Structure 1
């Protein structure tokens, strides 16, 4: 019985490779589309921050009422007069700012006459503790009148959000107030409500993912041509 020479054998269609390429292509395009969505979100965020430069503070009550109705009130400048709360003080929170390890002071602000009982206030950075791996226990006075910027509570990180939402018998606002100014001003705290720089490179990232998807198709087409050509 004669054997068919290897050169004469015709390779079959690579179904497995085709499925793998198709899945990879969809994933790459999905990542590119996600970056486009992130770009739109970042542009809206930067526009809101630009508006903040000239915006006057609004009383927090109506703003939180709008939030309770499902409105988007993030990145709104508000003012609140905090009432004292009979709750344990919050510890310092770890953070990174301008590439340095920092510790941020935080406190609970009691609210009256609205849908929520309290809101978390990020009071700013404690400069004396910059770079320390473990911060000593520090206590500051209760917040009084605070002017600042609302951001989603979840944006501060899961641990900080859970510490507030887990308070028994309380109805915390789903937002945090990043303090810009307090009266009276707490000693040893520097307000740091916003990142020093917010980049928007999502278009670049999207083009990278789409470029990888197109490159994958060219490589697959070249391999398929070499495999199936006579």
Structure 2
């Protein structure tokens, strides 16, 4: 006797699980981009307010009760004491699409539980575009006005540089110099990024759009598989 009906098609459990996992990942990426957007908007607002903010003495800002990470983009002034030792290595960076090298120096100061802070003095214009420049020595900083940045946000080898000062208590911050007195020869202050983009909303919509597209593809495959 011949078969009069086809065997029932089973529900694609494996495909459904894979789709749910991919959908969750895409939605998670979209949510992460929205969180980054809120963070970036806060940074941009603080940078806008920074344009007219007066400099505060570092010893009044960086106290024992203050969390260093809360001082990001705070404008301060400080009179640096001598630390001594060998010149610190230049820091690689990119500015306006060009490879640049930034000068950094230690600054001795008594501020809260710390007795030193790292100063990013700016870009060395003569080294722009070079791949591996030779070391440069500059006069030690004296009076510096600039903005604070948590050292972990800057990346690179800045935190590793602080390991040279085992006998001191360096602050986990970098003072990005806007102005020095006297001004160091051969260095151009560049404390803030030349441009900060905020396209996280576009990225979030892209991830959410991919998640919705995935659902449509899954629904179409499911309909073709289970239709009579």
Query: Considering the TM-score relative to the shorter chain, is it more than 0.5?
Result: yes
Cα-to-partner distance string for 1:119-174 (whole Å, 9 max, x where unaligned): 11110001111001111111000000000011110122142222215631221111
Q: 1:184 aligns with which of 176, 182, 199?
A: 182
Asked if 1:224 is matched to 2:212, the reply is no
In structure 1, what is the equivalent of residue 115 of structure 2? 117
Cα-to-partner distance string for 1:73-116 (whole Å, 9 max, x where unaligned): 10000001011013332011111101100111011111125211
Corresponding residue SS for 2:203: helix
Question: Where does the alignment leave 5 or more consecutive residues of structure 1 unmatched?
Answer: none
RMSD: 1.8
TM-score, scaled to structure 1: 0.93
Q: 2:97 aligns with which of 89, 96, 99?
A: 99
- Aligned partners of 2:151 and 2:131: how far apart in 1? 25
In structure 2, what is the equivalent of residue 34 of structure 1? 32
Q: 2:12 aligns with which of 10, 14, 32?
A: 14
- Aligned partners of 1:217 and 1:181: how far apart in 2? 55
TM-score, scaled to structure 2: 0.94
| 1:9 Cα deviation from its structure 2 partner | 3.3
Equivalent pairs counted in the alignment come to 228
Corresponding residue SS for 1:204: helix
- Aligned partners of 1:196 and 1:117: how far apart in 2? 31
Of 68-77 and 98-107, the range deviating more from structure 2: 68-77
- Aligned partners of 1:111 and 1:208: how far apart in 2? 48
- Aligned partners of 1:71 and 1:160: how far apart in 2? 16
Of 32-41 and 81-90, the range deviating more from structure 2: 81-90
Corresponding residue SS for 1:212: helix
Classify 1:202/1:112 alpha carbon distance in 2 versus 1 (closer, same or farther; 3 Å): same
Asked if 1:45 is matched to 2:28, the reply is no
Question: Where does the alignment leave 5 or more consecutive residues of structure 2 unmatched?
Answer: none
